[in-house]
Amino acid sequence: MQDNSGNNHLRINKYLAQCGLGARRKCDELVLTGHIYVNGQKITELGTKVDPKVDKVEYKGKQLRPIRKLEYYAYCKPRGVMVTNNDPEGRPTIYETLRRDGLDADLLKYVGRLDYLSEGLLLLTNDGDLIHALTHPRFQIKKVYMVRTGRPLDDGDISKLTSGIESEGQLLRAASVNSIDVKQEQHWYEITLFEGKNRQIRRMLEGIGQEVRRLRRVAFGSVKLGNMNAGEYRELTVREIGGLKNTGFKNR
């Protein structure tokens, strides 16, 4: 940490992301709250740079080292599972279900949260730079959902959804809403978002007096859910990973 001008120095949040501590914004929080030590000294400056070959960086008393093998998974999240590490109410989490099914995902971070009752495609990786690119508001990543509603949407409803619904001080907007003929007496729609606000589709539909009976994410950027069943996971292909990186990094 002595000479910040050298080519080997990395900004602290980037180094922490490479060590698997999450996206850069999460790593910034760890620095600001005094959880990171460099060469035995607590740091709280976001502009701190480190030389991975010289400096000793610690978190919770353990020395951090970059994770050499990057992992990328698609997971079909079931309904009734929490996207979190620990749930205070004791509900099952994705990490518990994945561990039970043979994948030790404790060092992987999820990309794009789904709420308890929602299901479908969730990405998991230890690539902190990619997580940052796919979740930062400035990078608009296409996400596609299959949504079953309580009653049909009319043209006025669809116009409101694509023009924008005000909710909790935010303007929520769908990129497109298209009717899908799946089953008789069921009202299914394909809704595309380029935003990623908390419970966005549910809040939008609540704003027009609609009930969401089922919500399933079927695509995230270049990755599609395909015929994966609830609880299944698979490694992403090289092509899918490249597509995510091209999408997430192209506007930098």
Q: What is the pLDDT of residues 28-41, one digit of tens each?
A: 999 999 999 999 99
pLDDT tens digits along 207-240: 999 999 999 999 999 999 999 999 999 999 999 9
**pTM of the shown model:** 0.73
Same domain, 164 and 44: no
pLDDT single digits (tens) 6-54: 467 889 998 998 888 888 888 999 999 999 999 999 999 999 999 988 9
Q: Are residues 127 and 230 in the same domain?
A: yes
Query: For the residues of 116-144, what is the DSSP string, one character each?
Result: TT-EEEEEEES-HHHHHHHHSTTS---EE
Only one residue has tokens 């991975």, namely 52
Verify that 157 and 179 share a domain, yes or no: yes
Same domain membership, residue 239 and residue 124: yes
> Per the domain annotation, does 108 fall within a domain?
yes
Q: How many domains does the chain have?
A: 3
Q: Are residues 114 and 231 in the same domain?
A: yes
* Strand arrangement of the beta sheet that strand 36-38 belongs to: 41-42, 36-38, 57-59, 62-63
Active site residue 115: yes
CATH of the domain at 245: 3.30.70.580
Q: Which pLDDT score is estimated for 53?
A: 85
Provide the residue range defining the domain that includes 99: 72-137+223-249
Q: Answer yes or no: do 156 and 48 share one domain.
A: no
pLDDT band at 251 (very low <50, low <70, confident <90, very high): very low
Q: What whole-number distance in Å separates Cα of residue 122 and Cα of residue 127?
A: 15
Length of the chain: 252
Catalytic residue among 104, 115, 127, 181: 115
Q: Are 127 and 72 in contact (CB under 8 A)?
A: yes
pLDDT of 252 reads: 41
Domain assignment present for 3: no
241 and 126 in one domain?
yes
